[in-house]
Amino acid sequence: MQNHEEINHLEAIVQTILDTAKKQGATAAEAGLNVENGLSITARLGEAETIEHHRDQGLGVTVYFGQCKGSASSTDLSEDSIIETVSAACSFARFTSEDVYAGLPSQELLATQFPALDLYHPWSFDVDQGIALAIECEQAARDFHPDISNSEGATVSSHQGIRVLGNSLGFLHSMNSTRHSISCSVLARRGESMQRDYWYSVDRNAGKLESAKAIGEKAASRTLQRLQARSLTPRHCPVLFAAEVASGLIGSLIGAISGGNLYRKSSFLLDALDTRIFPDFVHIHEQPHLPGALGSAAYDGEGVATRARDIVVEGVLQSYILSTYSARKLGMQSTGNAGGVHNLTLDSGTNDWQALLKQMDTGLLITELMGQGVNMVTGDYSRGAAGFWVEQGEIQYPVEEITIAGNLKAMFKSIVAVGNDVDYRGNIRTGSILIERMAIAGE
């Protein structure tokens, strides 16, 4: 799919969109174009259940008439459709009121260098191979233990795509990328107790995925560990967020320091720049140019160059997360985060997961969170949870049907340690996070 001819063709379409917008009177314009294809195969109980091929395409255009903005999109890349889509955007712009903060990024912030980020690794497998891999993964889970009683299936997915971005300041660039995954979810029963859990592996390079067998066995092991879970009586105790859920805590930080929430004054970290919000050992930074990483990009959704930068140093907030628009609203400069962060990393301590359990001694290990109970305005945090009760650094029994509660400001400041068991399967890279004390509600 990603040959030079197609790339040149897609870049030419984006240039045509920009030229058409200019002809229709727009003073500035930006356009994006995505073409993606993929194959996703799910096997359940030893047989193929679903096979999905997809090929998606779409374009979006935003035009400016002075400070008036209009946007339109289409999935049709034909010449007539492009003219129609641009005309619609221009029509909307003529009817919208002026917004002094609207407009393209400053030219000097646009990316001019494009490092090789190693994001494109096509995975050539046919349907039969994909089915065999999914069955192998699920079978490994079902064979793991007699208490594995049922399965929600195993899925093998491969996606590849190209994105072209351009604007009337002369920026025009395309990016190829791939994303592959294998996942498995099973159920276990022992007596009256029934539980489900899952595991997955994701990477831009299929050769770096965990093996299908290992993923199935991990899904089964995690499910079995949860059998015969109990609730807890209300208490206050240390809480260890396992790496796979700890990223959500850092996600709450990102929400609180994102421009949209800041200029709307709907963040518990208003005016927190240059203040201490974590213990002094905490270092959080962006690494947008890591080869092969899931969050790597040379520029953001507006073409603004990304760069390695610190967000939190020695516990002190150094920077917000800003797009061009939110930066202007705040009287600041874009941080290259239109569309989100890029490989946001919380630096690890020296302790692995087992050592963190020893450090916690007695408390709650959380492996699953439920619900959306985060108030971004106040920082109040209350979520359903499941995991394990720990005493003297050893897991005693699984727990479920509990709620953990606190305030994010206090939780951030009471982080005791960050593990070196980093989860690399997303855009936020962190190990397990140990918090000194939280409220637990249960039975």
User: How is residue 113 written in tokens?
Assistant: 């260098």
Q: 238 and 162 share a domain?
A: no
Q: Beta strands of 264-308 (E only): which ranges?
A: 284-286
User: Can you tell me the distance from the alpha carbon of 57 to that of 37, in angstroms, rounded to the nearest whole number?
Assistant: 9
User: Which parts of the chain sit beneath pLDDT 70?
Assistant: 1-2
User: Can you tell me the distance from the alpha carbon of 15 to that of 165, in angstroms, rounded to the nearest whole number?
Assistant: 9
* Whether 334 contacts 109, CB under 8 Å: yes
Handedness of CA 15, 17, 21, 27 (dihedral sign): negative
Q: 221 and 233 share a domain?
A: no
Q: 286 and 205 share a domain?
A: no
Model pLDDT for residues 311-338, shown as the tens digit of each residue:
999 999 999 999 999 999 999 999 999 9
pLDDT value of residue 1? 44
pLDDT value of residue 372? 84
Among 266, 263, 284, residue whose Cα is nearest residue 374: 266
User: Can you tell me the distance from the alpha carbon of 183 to that of 163, in angstroms, rounded to the nearest whole number?
Assistant: 26
pLDDT value of residue 265? 97
Q: Tally the C-alpha atoms within 13 A of residue 301's C-alpha that lie toward its C-beta.
A: 14
| Percent of the chain predicted with pLDDT > 70 | 99
pLDDT value of residue 442? 87
pLDDT value of residue 60? 97
DSSP structure string for 39-73: EEEEEETTEEEEEEEEEEEEEEEEEEETTEEEEEE
Q: Looking at the 3D structure of the chain, how many domains does it have?
A: 2
Q: 183 and 239 share a domain?
A: no
Q: 76 and 158 share a domain?
A: yes
User: Can you tell me the distance from the alpha carbon of 443 to that of 439, in angstroms, rounded to the nearest whole number?
Assistant: 13
pLDDT value of residue 371? 86
Residues in a beta bridge with 395:
390
CATH code (residue 203):
3.30.2290.10
Domain enclosing residue 193, as ranges: 4-225
User: Can you tell me the distance from the alpha carbon of 95 to that of 78, in angstroms, rounded to the nearest whole number?
Assistant: 26
DSSP state for residue 365 in the 8-state scheme: E
Q: 217 and 260 share a domain?
A: no
Domain boundary among 225, 248, 266: 225
Q: 211 and 286 share a domain?
A: no
Amino acid at 334: S
Q: 251 and 192 share a domain?
A: no
